[in-house]
Amino acid sequence: MTAEPAAEAAFEPALDPALAAAIDRLAAAPALLVALDFDGTLAPEVDDPQAARALPEAHAALLALHALPATTVALVSGRSLESLAAVGEMPAKVPLVGSHGLEVRLGDGEVLPAATPQDRERVRLLRLRLEPLVDAVPGAWMEQKPAGFAVHTRIVEDAAAAASLIEAVRAEAAAQDAGLTVRDGKNVVEFAARDATKGDGLRVLRERLGQPAVLFAGDDVTDEDGLQALVDGDLGIKVGPAGTVAPHRVADPRAMARVLERLLDARRENPPTTR
């Protein structure tokens, strides 16, 4: 299906009435947190992660919401804080949750530590133990993460050496510290002393902001943790076709931008009474 942008816009379906009603209810909340996933929710997916940007209409609606009283806008992403700050292009006072809830930068600039001193010591000890194994395999390298590190083997030419390195570091890690979170990826294994989800990130923001009503929307599996952290009076929206616990769904970032525009209009029309 191809269409000129103008024609496409003309045929854009109206918001689902149940969702529209839920947006209008949320807009009347005395305090509101608009916390959103970035990639695939505000920004269409692109090949180069650094090139991702929120749709202009979504970005404009977020800036306008941010300027309203008793209204906080936040981004909640799997990206590192640094990466999220770069692509998000939000004012400094907008809280950011990175690394799936592990890294939190609050609106006043305070950055909550992703790891305790004990966490860091566990990670340091494990890293010391694994380093000789990794150094012995040409092309293998370690990447520091907020509460752990990853061992990468993507550019190891000897596939058998790469496989046995992964096996060896997993065994060493298990022998030293069985309580670590271990995550396998393609040509990478990640060890972390602390695990977090987008739900944890949302709970931190909600607490710091004095229990506002929350809009959370996301497109990916990890967003389900955020959706599950919602309570009565909040609004959860799934973006795209994947399975979800969210009571509402929109098709894509363009439809999500229309949700934000409606929320903005409704909150402007009927501003919250400050308590």
User: Residue 189 CB, nearest distance to Mg ion (Å)?
Assistant: 23
| Contact assessment for residue 28 and residue 63, using Cβ atoms and an 8 Å cutoff | no
Tokens representing residue 117 in the block:
């001193």
Nearest to 32 by CA among 68, 85, 84: 68
Nearest to 12 by CA among 263, 251, 274: 251
Cβ proximity to Mg ion, 77 vs 153, nearer residue:
77
Strands of the 32-36 sheet, one edge to the other = 111-112, 103-105, 96-98, 71-76, 32-36, 213-218, 235-239, 248-250
Cβ proximity to Mg ion, 37 vs 200, nearer residue:
37
98 touches Mg ion by CB under 5 A? no
Cβ proximity to Mg ion, 40 vs 148, nearer residue:
40
User: Residue 100 CB, nearest distance to Mg ion (Å)?
Assistant: 11
Cβ proximity to Mg ion, 100 vs 145, nearer residue:
100
Mark 205-244 with x for binding to Mg ion (rule: CB under 5 A) and - for no binding: --------------xx------------------------
Cβ proximity to Mg ion, 95 vs 122, nearer residue:
95
101 touches Mg ion by CB under 5 A? no
User: Residue 202 CB, nearest distance to Mg ion (Å)?
Assistant: 15
201 touches Mg ion by CB under 5 A? no
| Contact assessment for residue 239 and residue 219, using Cβ atoms and an 8 Å cutoff | yes
Pairing of strands 213-218, 32-36: parallel
Give CA–CA dist 160/55, Å, rounded: 44
Q: Which of residues 3-42 bind Mg ion (CB under 5 A)?
A: 37, 39-40
Give CA–CA dist 208/222, Å, rounded: 22
261 touches Mg ion by CB under 5 A? no
User: Residue 270 CB, nearest distance to Mg ion (Å)?
Assistant: 30
- Would you tell me which residues interact with Mg ion (CB under 5 A)? 37, 39-40, 219-220
